[in-house]
Amino acid sequence: MQGKTMKRMLIVALSIGLVVPAMAASNPSPASDLKAFQDYFHKRFPTVPPADFVNGPYAMNADMRAQWQDIMQFPPYQFALDSGKTLFEAAFPNGHHYGDCFANKGLGIAQNYPKFDPKSGKIITIEIAVNQCRTKNGQPPLDLQKGDMADIVAYMTSTSDGKPIDVKIPNDPRALAAYEAGKEYFYSRRGQLNFSCASCHVQGAGDHLRAEVLAPALGLTAAFPMYRSTWGDTGTVVRRFIECNIQVRAEPGKPDSTAYRDLEYFLAYMNNGLPVAGPGARP
């Protein structure tokens, strides 16, 4: 191959490498994806301390951070937390508690979710696990997006505050397939506006989208459940996924859909090592 063509190919290869962070080296695996993903954002935003990525837009914009610090003197999710604690600690009519369904009585475990469930072959998010607990104890499932579910999970997540996120992908082809499906979803364009998650959260990270500052994909799900000022309310990851789909004018999936479970699995795995920052507050 001629010298000039080689150089041009190298330049193209390098720029693709910058734009597609998950393109790993010679032996692709979730672990190498994770390293490439985190390295990409560290290189792109060298002044942001690694743990600060969990703060999303506040790590990208000093003015927003100042407003957030003001708001956080009185966390807007305080009511959700108080209600969540009461709901979590209340016994079911049969006398059992939520704590009986989880390791460590359900406290300090949020950093391990979502989990792969070998029995069903599906990904279980913490919200789905709460509903499984309810079903096991004869209670109807809760709305996965908001209300009591958001409050309960806000409380459970608060007991893991600061713990390093530790999502595992076991040596099971179904778990790996779920991870890969989540990754593919993240990078696939959809909707009338033809955006992928990456369009905003990788390419557009730190940029303004109307009045909002876009959070980078690294740390994106670490501060859920989240009080959003636009909602005036606390909501779960799935609430935001559905909202994002609607905003790019794509048909949203059902809250417990495999697509959303897999997407959350991928995104949470990419946060491994970052501190749990939920519940969080965003515009």
Partner 1 sequence: MPGSILVRASANGGTTTVQALIHHPMDSGFVKNAEGALIPAHYIEVVQFAHAGKIVLTAFWGPAVSKDPFTKFSFKGGAAGDDISISWVDNLGNKDSVSSKIM
Residue numbers annotated as active site: 244
Q: How far is the CB of 77 from partner 1 (least distance, A)?
A: 10
**Binds partner 1 (CB under 8 A): choice among 20, 36, 51, 71:** 71
Q: How far is the CB of 73 from partner 1 (least distance, A)?
A: 6
Using the minimum distance from each CB to partner 1, give the nearer residue, 15 or 78.
Answer: 78
CB-based burial label for 192 (10 Å; 0-12, 13-18, 19+): exposed
Q: Which of 117, 219, 132 is nearest to 170 (CA)?
A: 117
Q: How far is the CB of 107 from partner 1 (least distance, A)?
A: 24
Draw the binding track, 73-112, toward partner 1 (x: CB under 8 A; -: no contact). xx-x-xx---------------------------------
Using the minimum distance from each CB to partner 1, give the nearer residue, 145 or 221.
Answer: 145
Structure token digits, residue 64: 């927003």
Piece of the chain touching partner 1 by CB under 8 A; list 66-74, 90-98, 159-167, 246-254: 66-74
187 binds partner 1 (CB under 8 A): no
Q: Which of 108, 101, 105, 147 is nearest to 124 (CA)?
A: 101
- State the Cα–Cα distance between residues 45 and 43, nearest whole angstrom: 6
Given a contact cutoff of 8 angstroms between Cβ atoms, the answer to whether 22 and 202 are in contact is no
211 binds partner 1 (CB under 8 A): no
Given a contact cutoff of 8 angstroms between Cβ atoms, the answer to whether 183 and 263 are in contact is no
Under DSSP, the state recorded for 202 is: I
**In angstroms, how far is CA 270 from the centroid of its own chain?**
9
How many residues belong to the site for partner 1 (CB under 8 A)? 8
Given a contact cutoff of 8 angstroms between Cβ atoms, the answer to whether 108 and 102 are in contact is no
Using the minimum distance from each CB to partner 1, give the nearer residue, 144 or 202.
Answer: 144
Using the minimum distance from each CB to partner 1, give the nearer residue, 70 or 251.
Answer: 70
- State the Cα–Cα distance between residues 13 and 78, nearest whole angstrom: 48
> Which residues of this chain interact with partner 1, rule CB under 8 A?
70-71, 73-74, 76, 78-79, 232
